[in-house]
Structure 1
Amino acid sequence: MVKVLIVEDEASIREMIALNLRMAGMEALEAASAEEALALLEQQPGCSAAILDVMLPGMNGFSLCETIRRTDQQIGIIILSAKGQEQDKIRGLSIGADDYMTKPFSVSELLARVGALCRRVGRTAPAQEPEENPTVLVSGEFVLDQNRRVLLKRGQPIELTQVEFQIMELFFRNPGTALVREKILKGVWGENYFGDVKIVDVNIRRLRMKVEDEPSHPAHILTVWGYGYRWEE
């Protein structure tokens, strides 16, 4: 069963989210603080996704997101906040969140986003892949191992979130091709994603910090101005 952690200090909101997740067939873990959430993650590992409120007592949601990401690149993270300012969204995505929602929010939309995240996290390669669909993609000095969900650069592993891994997979399958932002958004977040296309730009910036020798002068993830991005070996 898919397991989702909800970190929200307002009991009514937390319980409402948990109830709807359970009605959708998921297991919901509830925490009222970041400290309680970290203890739960240690006691019950294997969460597919986490919904983190920003305004928490003690450690806030942004710091909690950063703490989780230090040890877990696979879990899907949604930041949930009453703040709608652009800089807050960018901050949340830049530190490792996969998605951002602003209160008040639609429960059905939240469930759709959780479901999309969990499907990405739960993706596994079949036991036997046909030869025309290899489990290892190679591009210059980079190797993308789809079975192990690992990106290697010159033989050294680079830790990627599930969203980052899927963007790289899209690039590797379309080398030298300019991909419009909307195509990346649909290819990674799904056809029915409700969020802002700017989430693509934030994840590209994060990826450049990980894969480029000089992120300010990228040699691989190139910007196609007014359009999107292109991958070059």
Structure 2
Amino acid sequence: MSDSPHILVVDDEEHLAIGIKFNLEAEGFQVSTAGNGPEALALLDSAQRPIDLIVLDLMLPGMSGYEVCEQLRASGNFMPVLMLSARTLTEDKTRGFDVGANQYLVKPFELEELLSRIKNLLAQHRHQQQMEIARPDVTEFEFGDAKINFKTHEAKVADEPIRMTQLQLKLLKYFIEHEGEVVPRSEILENVWELPGHVNTRAPDQVLRQLRKAFEPDPANPVYFLTIRDAGYRFVKGNPDATIADKAGQTESPVAPSEPIDSTDSD
């Protein structure tokens, strides 16, 4: 039992939370429950055993499931999140994926489907962790005027410190680890956001725009973070002159407004 995954069920409908807990425990999982967002976030910090996955209801009192997931990702926690909701509109699902949910299950649902999704998410996350262990770790990196220390989460451009979120650092590190390669959008969704590659979300575009604004001499004409038409993205560290051919084949599509990476001087 001590080696079984620890799942946090967050739902203000007590009878539903108890029912999910009972069935998950019958499958051998360890389960904790919370009735609201603040309680869930507190449990994540204080649990004696680390939590491996969250089953998160969308409509919570005071603090929505969107907000809980957003805070979780902003803190650098990328554990799997399975969002539950009676809302069936595409925009509700899309917003869930945009804030970092891995899957979205509509209520009412079949128990077998819930269990299958949970097991699948845990297996995917375990595989991702194994891949990260096997991959050579990048702790420091320099390109252009930028210096990044991933161990201390510090970044500077022209010796001026800038503030970066955990998600921005994670995407930047993934680009650096695949320097020179064309990385498909689906691969970024799977390995950085830990979402299915087919999910329709603009989140990668928004974070890429933030990286360009922070690190490119001219964000409108990028030389480091390239978009390759119909293929994906490519990070190029070297001589900007060597990227002319790439720039001829790249295209930019408009993205929704997003929070830029700030200089610490603006605080």
TM-score norm. by structure 1 comes to 0.69
Superposition map of 1:3-14 within 5 A: 3-14=6-17
CA positional deviation for 1:125: 4.6
Contact 2:10 2:35 in 1 (8 A): yes
* Compared CA separation, residues 84 and 136, structure 1 to 2 (3 A): same
CA positional deviation for 1:61: 1.0
Superposition map of 1:1-233 within 5 A: 1=3, 2-19=5-22, 21-22=24-25, 26-44=29-47, 46-70=50-74, 72-76=75-79, 77-95=81-99, 97-103=100-106, 104=109, 106-107=113-114, 108-117=116-125, 120=128, 125=133, 133-136=136-139, 138=141, 140=143, 141=146, 143=148, 145=150, 148=151, 150=153, 152-154=155-157, 158-161=164-167, 165=170, 167-185=171-189, 187=191, 195=196, 197-198=198-199, 201-208=201-208, 210-213=210-213, 217=220, 219=222, 220-233=224-237
Distance of 1:115 and 1:28 partners within structure 2: 17
| Percent pairwise identity | 22
CA positional deviation for 1:54: 0.6
Question: Counterpart of 1:213 in 2: which secondary structure?
Answer: helix
Distance of 1:151 and 1:89 partners within structure 2: 34
Q: Could you tell me which runs of 5 or more consecutive residues in structure 1 were left unpaired when the two chains were aligned.
A: none
* Compared CA separation, residues 58 and 231, structure 1 to 2 (3 A): same
Distance of 1:87 and 1:68 partners within structure 2: 21
Question: Counterpart of 1:198 in 2: which secondary structure?
Answer: coil
CA positional deviation for 1:39: 3.9
* Compared CA separation, residues 17 and 168, structure 1 to 2 (3 A): farther
Distance of 1:67 and 1:35 partners within structure 2: 10
CA positional deviation for 1:187: 4.9
CA positional deviation for 1:111: 2.4
Distance of 1:210 and 1:7 partners within structure 2: 32
Contact 1:79 1:92 in 2 (8 A): yes
Contact 1:54 1:60 in 2 (8 A): yes
CA positional deviation for 1:21: 4.5
* Compared CA separation, residues 160 and 118, structure 1 to 2 (3 A): farther
Number of residues of Structure 1 aligned to a counterpart in Structure 2:
218
Instruction: List per-residue Cα deviations over 1:86-144 (Å, max 9, x = no partner).
Output: 3223322333x241312236121232114433664688758xx9xxx454363512546
Contact 1:5 1:47 in 2 (8 A): yes
Aligned residue identity for 2:35: A
TM-score norm. by structure 2 comes to 0.62
Aligned residue identity for 2:67: S
Contact 2:190 2:197 in 1 (8 A): no
CA RMSD between the two structures:
3.9
Contact 1:151 1:160 in 2 (8 A): no
CA positional deviation for 1:60: 1.7
